[in-house]
Amino acid sequence: MDATPLDPAFDPAQRRAELDREDIEIDLLLEGVYRNYGVDFRQYSRASLRRRLWRRVDLEHVGTISGLQELLLHDAAVMERLLLDLSINVTAMFRDPSFFRALRVQVVPLLRTYPFVRIWNAGCSTGEETYSLAILLREAGLYDRTRIYATDINEVVLQRARQGLFPLEKMQEYTENYLAGGGTQAFSQYYTAAYEHAQFDRSLADNIVFAQHNLVSDRSFNEFQLIVCRNVMIYFDKALQDAVHRLFHGSLARLGILALGHKESISFTSHEGDYDVVNADERLYRKLQ
């Protein structure tokens, strides 16, 4: 065990040097992760990163941060486990209900004008947001002519998303979100309870394609009338955000909607001038050209 400040053997200068060395190893690991996987943790809070990285070092039995770096760069499965450790997959059904209310009131009428609707749910995590969109579209009578492409960098969360199986204990909270988001049906009609889980109606996934896609390094794969990307770019620095906005702008149909949610904004990005604001609070934008 390391000497603590109360220990007579504790040498502050030595401890400082150890921390500096560890910081350099963390910098190198983060740089390697960014270059190889396009996920940028370089601006994350150091204290929490340090704790989580050391936990992963222990679980992978590699002994050091640089040992973890070596392993990460050669084994994508380790990278996926680290992504889960950093718990950036937090999500919920009808999260921020006012966003879904705005979609129902302001975006659905626009989508109705298309014979067929393609939606990109980027950074969908374990799928709660995607199933929420499917429910909303079904209630609007649009689901049958919609295809939702739900993508994430992390294959582990996508596998969970495909199952449509969510913790039963969350259903009270999700029902409240659904109602606050403008839902008028009995939310329980969309799932059946199976032990500790709620199995969502299989038909809700009929028009959803879950696929791995890295927003930083992969290209556009279709043209969409609506792109929903919430709580993803908050983890990116400005250069990365600009790159993703370029990708979204290039992937939206003319007059298509970009839906970013409360925490992100088009302001101060390279594409700020390319959209009309549809809803400033919910960060709904409409592509001009």
When the beta carbons of 138 and 230 are compared against ligand SAM, the nearer one is 230
When the beta carbons of 66 and 91 are compared against ligand SAM, the nearer one is 91
Which of 36, 106, 175, 214 forms a contact with ligand SAM (CB under 6 A)? 214
Restricting to residues 19-48, which ones interact with ligand SAM according to CB under 6 A?
A: 38-39
Which of 123, 164, 181, 183 forms a contact with ligand SAM (CB under 6 A)? 123
Tell me if 258 contacts ligand SAM by CB under 6 A. Answer: no
Restricting to residues 137-166, which ones interact with ligand SAM according to CB under 6 A?
A: 152-154, 157
Which of 95, 118, 245, 249 forms a contact with ligand SAM (CB under 6 A)? 95
Q: Are 118 and 222 in contact (CB under 8 A)?
A: yes
Whole-angstrom Cα distance, residue 153 to residue 229? 13
When the beta carbons of 83 and 108 are compared against ligand SAM, the nearer one is 83
Tell me if 216 contacts ligand SAM by CB under 6 A. Answer: yes
Whole-angstrom Cα distance, residue 261 to residue 231? 8
Q: Sheet harboring 191-194: ordered strands across?
A: 165-167, 197-200, 191-194
Site string for ligand SAM, 55-94 (x = CB under 6 A): ----------------------------x----xxxx---
Question: How many of the chain's residues bind ligand SAM (CB under 6 A)?
Answer: 22
Strand-pair partners of 117:
146
Q: Are 116 and 225 in contact (CB under 8 A)?
A: no
Tell me if 225 contacts ligand SAM by CB under 6 A. Answer: no
Least distance from C-beta 178 to ligand SAM, angstroms? 14
Q: Are 76 and 82 in contact (CB under 8 A)?
A: no
Specify the residue for token string 């979100």: 177
**Region binding ligand SAM by CB under 6 A among candidate stretches 16-24, 48-56, 209-217, 264-272:** 209-217
Token output for 147 = 């295809």
Whole-angstrom Cα distance, residue 204 to residue 206? 6
When the beta carbons of 84 and 288 are compared against ligand SAM, the nearer one is 84
Q: Is 11 exposed, middle or buried (0-12, 13-18, 19+ CB in 10 A)?
A: exposed
**253: Cβ–Cβ under 8 A, 6 or more apart, which residues?**
223, 224, 225, 287
Q: Interface residues with ligand SAM (CB under 6 A)?
A: 38-39, 83, 88-91, 95, 123-125, 129, 152-154, 157, 214-216, 230-232
